[in-house]
Amino acid sequence: MEFSTEQLQKLAQEVETVARQAGAFILNERKTFSTQKVETKGLNDFVSYVDKASEKLIVEQLKSILPQAGFITEEGTEARDDNPLKWVIDPLDGTTNFIHGMPFFAVSIALLQDTEPLIGVVYEINQDEMFSAWKSGGAYLNGQSISISAAPTVKDSLLGTGFPYYDYHLLDQYLALFKHLMKHSHGIRRPGSAATDLAYVACGRFDGFYEYSLSPWDVAAGVLLVREAGGIVSDFAGADEAIFTKEIIATNPHIHAEFLKLLRSFMK
């Protein structure tokens, strides 16, 4: 299905409204939330009724916006299908932060055509920051155009990452890279929400971000944000496809080649 830039912009605005509705629900539930309401999906992989209810809210709204699209959802509200046009949803990215009262969590919604993102919306709830992008339309924060940073080298960069929490097969390599970057960059931050991390690359707060063992709903919206803001996104091999490969590097154009070479020298 073909969309014009104007159609994608209108769809993105409708998705922003849905993300705000989900965000308002999440914030309201946070007031009375108890860790006793948390379920465990796997090792250090948590879910709550808030995730599930937020996802149902989002799915129902998106069905009315674009009935012909399928879904990839984290909590399985809709069964994954082979529809080339599909919504990819993380109803609460940063669940561990949420259940512990930490402020970094977001709603992430993307629209894909096959593996290509057409729309990306990340709503960072506590800061009331709405990041949005549509193909060939640029990237925006609360309606204002944003762009990636101009840091010229890794040494001049502030980097974001996520710590492995269940897949430890590259842990030693990851820690060796982490140690190197501690000494050869402006520092490393770990907010705990990959969607937020990517949005921060898009608006220039981070100069780069890297992580492995991620799912499509963690990164689909953020990938488009970074690219439309002028950044580069790849997997650890340097290929453009990063949504379904479980690994991602997102940087400004100045440091991507240097960072990719550095990462590959450690993450073998």
Would you say residue 45 has pLDDT above 70?
no
Per-residue model confidence as pLDDT tens digits over 220-248: 999 999 999 999 999 999 999 899 999 99
The pLDDT value given to residue 1 = 80
Last residue of a domain, one of 145, 173, 197: 145
Same domain, 133 and 159: no
Banded pLDDT at 43 (limits 50, 70, 90): low
In sequence order, the β-bridge partners of residue 133 are 120, 139
Per-residue model confidence as pLDDT tens digits over 12-29: 999 999 999 999 999 998
Same domain, 70 and 38: yes
Q: How many domains does the chain have?
A: 2
Last residue of a domain, one of 145, 166, 183: 145
SS3 14: helix
Torsion (CA) 247, 195, 171, 156 in degrees, nearest 10: 90
Same domain, 119 and 55: yes
Same domain, 99 and 226: no
CATH of the domain at 31: 3.30.540.10
SS3 264: helix
Last residue of a domain, one of 94, 118, 145: 145
CATH of the domain at 203: 3.40.190.80
Average pLDDT over residues 52-64: 95
Same domain, 9 and 102: yes
Domain boundaries, position 248: 154-266
Q: What is the DSSP string of 52-114?
A: HHHHHHHHHHHHHH-TT-EEEETT-SS-----SEEEEEEEEETHHHHHTT-S--EEEEEEEET
